[in-house]
Structure 1
Amino acid sequence: MVNTYLSREAARRLKHGAPWVRREDILSIEGTPALGEAVQLRDEQGQLLGLADVDLEASYAVRRLGYADETAEGLIPRHVRHAFERRALTVDDPRFCRVINDDGDALPGLIVDRYDRHLVVQTLTRAMDARLQEISRALVEVSGAESVLLRNDTPRRRQLGLPSQRPHVLHGTPPRWTRVLELGARFTVDLQYGSGVGYPYDQRELRRFLARLAQGARVLDPSCHVGGLFVHAGRHGARSILAFDSDADTADLARENGEANGLLGRLQVERGDALDVLHGVQDTFDLVLLDTPDATSAETFVEQVRLGLRATRHGGVLLIVGYHPPLPMGGFDNLVAEACEQEERRSFRIARFGLPPDHPTLVGFSATDYLSGIALEAS
C-alpha cells in the first residue's frame, strides 16, 4: 500500500479529527496512488495516522477515509453499512432520507439519498468517481435497493471543477418519478431530471417547525422547488399560499404536490424567478418562506433577504434558508442583520435551524455544516 507522509502540523490536525489536509501539507509519497485506492497516512516519524484518498489535483489533496486501526479491505461496504445503521437509529422514517453524507459518514465525496427501494448517488471527488461500481455493489448488498441512479449533473460538481455527467443507471431500472413520505405529507419527485438529487431532505427541521407558524397565515414562497415547505404550511392551516419556481416543470410538480395534500382552492403556483417575484410583489404576507438556492453571492443573498422582509407584514414571520458556499462560513447571521439594517426593520430571531440527523457532520469543522436557517419575527 502507498505511504503518504504529512507535515507535523497536518498530522496534528488529523489526530484532532480533521477530515482533510491540503497539497502543501504532503511531505512525500512512496509510490503512485491510483484514484480510488486508499493510501496509508503517516507523520514525519512514520507513525500510521489512518487511511485516505489522495488526489494531487484537488484543493483538499488528502481526504480521510479511515483511522489507524482500520484496514483498507472492505472499507467502503463497512462504512456504507454503518451509515444505514445510523439512520435506523436517528431518522423517523429511514426509507426516505439521506443515507450517506460525505465526510459525516467517513465517505468523503459521496452523497446518497434514499427513496424507499431506490437510491440516488452523487460523487464529489475523482476518487469516488473511480469507485462507482464498488459503491453501487455495496449499496445494493447493504440495503437491497431495486435501483441505483447516478446524478452527477448538479452545480456542486461544476463548482468543484469536476465534469458534469448525464444521469446514469448504476443498478436496476430507476423510475423517473417516485414518492416521498415525510412528516405526514406525500410528494412526487423527479429522480432523473429534477434539481439537485430529487428532494431537499436537508430542510426537514424547517418543515417540522412550520406547523407552529402556519395556522391562518397568508404565505409567500418565492422559490418553492417541489413544494416541500409550503405543503407543510398548508397542511397546518395556512389560509392561502402564493408560490413560484423558476423552472416550469418544477412549478407544475409543486402544484400537483400541493393538490395531492389537500391544498386545492388555497394554493396558486406560478413560474417565476425568486428575485423578480420579490421585486414585483406588492402585497405583504404573514409568512414568507425564503429558500435561497439561487443566491450566487453574499450580495445577492442580502438582496433576497431585504426584499423578503419587505414582503413580510409587521409582526409576520420570515423563514430564511442560506447555503455555504456561496455564503461565507460563519457569515449567515451578519448578512441577515445587514439586510434588516438596510430595510430598517427590527427583527427578532424566534428559531434557528441546521441540518437534520440524517446529515451528520464533523464536530469542530464548520465547513461541513453547509445549511443555515432562521425564523425572524419582523417589526
Structure 2
Amino acid sequence: MNEITLHKGKDKAAWQLHPWIFSGAIKRVNGSPENGAVVSVFNAESEFIAYGVYNANSRVAVRLLEWNPDIAIDELWWRDRLRRAVHLRKHLLTEENDTVRLVFAEADFLPGLIVDKYADYLSIQVHSSGLEKVKSVIVDELVGLVAPMGIYERSDLKSREHEGLADANGLLYGELPPEFVRVVENGIQYQINIVEGQKSGFYCDQRENRWLTAQYSRDKRVLDCFCYSGGFTLNAIRHGASAVVSVDSSALAVETLRKNIETNGFDASNHTAIQSDVNKYLRQLGEEGQRFDVIILDPPKYAPSRSTLEKASRAYKDLNRRGLMLLESGGLLATFSCSGAMDIDTFKQVIAWAALDAGKEIQFIRQFTQPEDHPIRASFPEGEYLKGLLVRVV
C-alpha cells in the first residue's frame, strides 16, 4: 500500500472526518502511487488516519474515503457506498417527482461523483481520478440498482483539468437519451435535454424552492431571470400568476421553456419568453418604468472560488440592485447564489448593500437552501453551496 505522511499539525481536519488533504499538508509520499490510486494516510507520528485516493496533479492531493483501517477500499466498498446513497433517496421518487440526485459526491463518501436521475435515464459527472478508475464498477452497480434505459456521461468540467483528466462525454450504458426526455417535478412535466443542456440538463436542486416561491405568485406579475428550462416560471403559472416574463441568454433554454409550457397545456397568453442578457434586460425594464410583484434571480455561479468572491459580490450586488428597483412596496425578490464561496451571511450583506443603492428598505422573510438529495455532510460544510433569500420591499 502506498503511504502518505502529513506534516506535523496538518492532521486536525482529517481526524475530524474532513475528506480533503491539500498538497501543502503532505510531508512525504512513500511508494509511487499513480493518480487515482488508493493510499493510506498517516500523521507525523505515524498514526493511521484514513484511506483515500491520491492525485499528484490536484491541489486536493488526497480525497479521504474510509477512516476504519480494517475496511478495505475494494470493489465491494464502492458498490456498498453507492447502494447506500441510492437507498437514501428512494422515498423521493414518486408520481409527482421522477427526477432526483442519487449521488452527491463528498456528501455520500464518493468524492468526485454526481449522479442525477431523469425519469428513465441517468446523467453522471466524474470529477476525480479516483472515481475515473472505478467508473465501470459505478456504472455496473447503477444498472443493477436503478435499471435505467440509459446512462449518459457529462464530464466536461474544469475540475477534471485540475485532476489531469480530459473531458469525457458520451453514452456509458443502454440507449442514447432522446433529444428531449420528459420528467416530472412537483407534478409539472418538463422536456429536458440531457445531452446538450447545461451540465446534466436540469437543476433539481431548486425543486423545493421553485414550489415555495410559487406560493407567493397567485394573481401576481412575475419576472423569472436566468429561467433556463422554466422551473420557476412553470411553478408560478401553475399556481395562478397573472403574468410571467421569463428571461435567459440561451436560445436552447427559451426553446425548451416554450416546449415545457406546451407540454403541460398551460395557457401561454400571459407568458412572455425573452432571449437576452439578463443585466441588459433589467436595465431596459428600468428605463421603461416597468414594475413587477415577484422577481426571481437565479444566476449561474459567480464565485467559483474564494479568490473570486470580491468580484462576484459586486456582480451579485449590481444584479440585485437592478431587480429591487423594479419592485414597489410589498414586492418580493427571490434571489439565489449557487456559489459555494458565498456564505449566507455574506449574501445577506450583499443584498443589503444592493437595497441601499436601490433606495429600498427591505426585510428578509425566508431563507432557501438545497433539498435533501443534496445533503450537507457535517464534516464537509463546503457541500453547502445553494442559498437563497426571499426579500420583501417595505
Q: Please state which band the TM-score falls in when normalised by the shorter chain.
A: over 0.9
Aligned to 1:71: 72
Give the deviation of 1:163 after TM superposition.
5.9
Which of 155, 168, 171 matches 2:170? 168
Aligned to 1:342, which of 357, 365, 389? 357
2-structure distance, mates of 1:94, 1:170: 25
SS in 1 for 2:10: helix
Q: Report the counterpart of residue 184 of structure 1 in structure 2.
A: 187
**Of the candidates 336, 339, 343, which is equivalent to residue 324 of structure 1?**
339
How far off its partner does 1:199 sit? 0.8
**d(CA) in 1 for partners of 2:144 and 2:50?**
26
- Corresponding residue of 1:127: 130
> Shift of residue 325 of structure 1?
4.7
The whole-number CA distance in structure 2 between the counterparts of 1:3 and 1:156 is 25
Q: 1:331 is paired with a residue of what secondary structure? A: helix
Residues 164 and 319 (structure 1), Cα distance of their counterparts in 2 relative to 1, 3 Å cut: farther
What stretches of structure 1 of length at least 5 have no aligned partner? none
SS at match of 2:226: coil
Shift of 1:57: 1.6
Match of residue 265, structure 1, among 269, 287, 293: 269
Q: Judge which range, 359-368 or 324-333, deviates more.
A: 324-333
Q: Distance in 2 between matches of 1:20 and 1:199?
A: 28
- Give the TM-score of the pair, scaled to structure 1: 0.93
Query: 1:331-351, CA deviations, whole angstroms, 9 ceiling, x for partnerless residues?
Result: 212211111111121111111
Show the counterpart of 1:311: 326
User: 1:31-72: per-residue Cα shift (whole Å, max 9, x none)?
Assistant: 122233222222233332222111122111111112224321
1:83-232 correspondence runs (5 A): 83-89=85-91, 95-154=98-157, 165=167, 167-175=169-177, 176-232=179-235
Alpha-carbon separation, structure 2, partners of 1:243 and 1:161: 37
> Which of 284, 288, 292 in structure 2 is aligned with 1:285?
292
The answer to whether the 8 Å contact 1:35/1:130 transfers is no
| 8 A contact 2:237–2:244 mirrored in 1 | yes
Amino acid at match of 2:267: L
| Conserved? CA contact 2:223–2:294, under 8 Å | yes
**How big is each residue's C-alpha offset from its partner over 1:288-311, in whole Å with a ceiling of 9 and x where there is no partner?**
011111646222111111111112
CA 1:311/1:96 → structure 2, altered by over 3 Å: closer, same or farther? same
- Unaligned ranges ≥5, structure 2: 304-311
Give 1:369's aligned residue: 384
With over 3 angstroms needed to count, the CA separation of the structure-2 counterparts of 1:166 and 1:37, relative to structure 1, is closer
Of all paired residues, the percent bearing the same amino acid is: 25
Aligned to 2:122, the other structure's residue is in SS state strand
Which amino acid in 2 is paired with 1:271? Q
Question: In 2 relative to 1, CA 294–24 (structure 1 residues): closer, same or farther, beyond 3 Å?
Answer: closer
**Residue 62 (1) aligns with residue 62 (2):** yes
Shift of 1:322: 0.7
Q: Please tell me the residue identity of whatever aligns with 2:147.
A: G
- How many residue pairs match? The answer is 378
2:29 maps to 29
Q: 1:274: which partner in 2? A: 278
Alignment RMSD: 2.1
- Residues 294 and 48 (structure 1), Cα distance of their counterparts in 2 relative to 1, 3 Å cut: closer
Amino acid at match of 2:77: L
Specify the alignment match of 2:369 in structure 1: 354
Alpha-carbon separation, structure 2, partners of 1:329 and 1:314: 24
Structure 1 residues 364 and 79, CA gap change in structure 2 (3 angstroms): closer
CA 64–358 in structure 1, closer or farther in 2 if over 3 Å, else same: same
Indicate if the aligned counterparts of 2:364 and 2:392 stay in contact, CA closer than 8 A. Answer: yes
Q: Which residue of 1 aligns with 2:314?
A: 299
Give the CA deviation at 1:251. 0.3
Q: Tell me how far apart the structure 2 counterparts of residues 215 and 25 of structure 1 sit (CA, whole Å).
A: 54
Q: Structure 2 length normalisation: TM-score?
A: 0.90
Kindly provide the CA deviation profile for residues 88-133 of structure 1, in whole angstroms up to 9, marking residues without a partner as x.
2466677410111111011111111111321111122233233322
Residue by residue over 1:245-281, the C-alpha shift from the partner in whole angstroms, topping out at 9 and shown as x without a partner, is 1111210111121232313212111211111111111
